Amino acid sequence: MSAAKTYPASEVTRDSITKNIALVRDEIASTTSKVNEEQVAILARHLVRGGRVFVAGAGRSGLVLRMAAMRLMHFGLNVHVAGDTTTPAIADGDLLLVASGSGTTSGVVKSAQTAKKAGARIAAFTTDPNSPLAGLADALVIIPAAQKTDHGSHISRQYAGSLFEQVLFVVTEAVFQSLWDHTDVEAEELWTRHANLE
């Protein structure tokens, strides 16, 4: 494996940053506009249907779901992150929220299979409606972004699964905002649930 090529700092210019901010912004806007809002609304309704919410994802998608878990906790839901040492067993009536661009990430698919066997519902984000993860989902949101191994994609000029993860963040934020919009809870009340052991 060869060492990473180094470049003089002078090659990174304001113009290149401006160009790439526009690239990322425009790709996010274009892809988000193609997400099916009814699919997202169905997923949001599953979140508040009762039972606990568990989130599971790998890599950067997993990090986005951890951020979503924090907002859902602020909203007042009983939320757990798969893999944390204090996470209990998922059970009948619970919901597992998962994300995998390819829909084939082994740990994520295994979590969904385990949750399904326990009687839990599955809400999934993926790019592939024909993937194993999509087949397990009770609520499915397709994000029409390139998969991380699709390096020659015309969908995105960004590296790996960046566009999927960016749009996943935007959509999960919109879910939280929509849930909150339908309450009369003030921001100050949500803030009382924010971590105070930082």
CATH number at residue 123: 3.40.50.10490
**Cβ count within 10 A of residue 14:** 7
- In DSSP terms, 109 is beta-bridged to none
Return the C-alpha torsion angle 118, 119, 123, 128, nearest 10.
70
Is 27 designated active site? no
Res. 5: pLDDT tops 80: no
- pLDDT one-digit tens code per residue, 21-40: 999 999 999 999 999 999 99
Q: How far apart are alpha carbons 93 and 78 in whole angstroms?
A: 13
Query: What share of the chain has pLDDT > 70, as a percent?
Result: 92
Residue 7 located in a structural domain: no
Res. 62: pLDDT tops 60: yes
Residue 59 located in a structural domain: yes
pLDDT of res. 169: 98
Residue 120 located in a structural domain: yes
pTM above 0.85, yes or no: yes
Q: Would strands 79-81 and 121-126 be described as parallel, antiparallel, or unpaired? A: unpaired
Position 12 confidence tier, pLDDT thresholds 50, 70, 90: confident
Domains: count for the chain: 1
Residue 192 located in a structural domain: no
Position 15 confidence tier, pLDDT thresholds 50, 70, 90: very high
Residue 9 located in a structural domain: no
Pick the catalytic residue from 11, 27, 38, 165.
165
85 half-sphere exposure, CB direction, 13 A CA radius: 0
Residue 114 located in a structural domain: yes
- Identify the helix (H) or strand (E) that includes residue 141: strand 139-142
- pLDDT one-digit tens code per residue, 124-174: 999 999 999 999 999 999 999 876 566 556 678 787 689 999 999 999 999
Question: Hey, what are 193's tokens?
Answer: 């649930």
Which domain does 48 fall in, by range? Answer: 19-183
77-89 mean pLDDT = 97
Q: Would strands 53-57 and 95-99 be described as parallel, antiparallel, or unpaired? A: parallel
**Cβ count within 10 A of residue 7:** 8
Q: Can you point out the beta strands (E) in 4-82?
A: 53-57, 79-81
Q: How far apart are alpha carbons 181 and 75 in whole angstroms?
A: 11
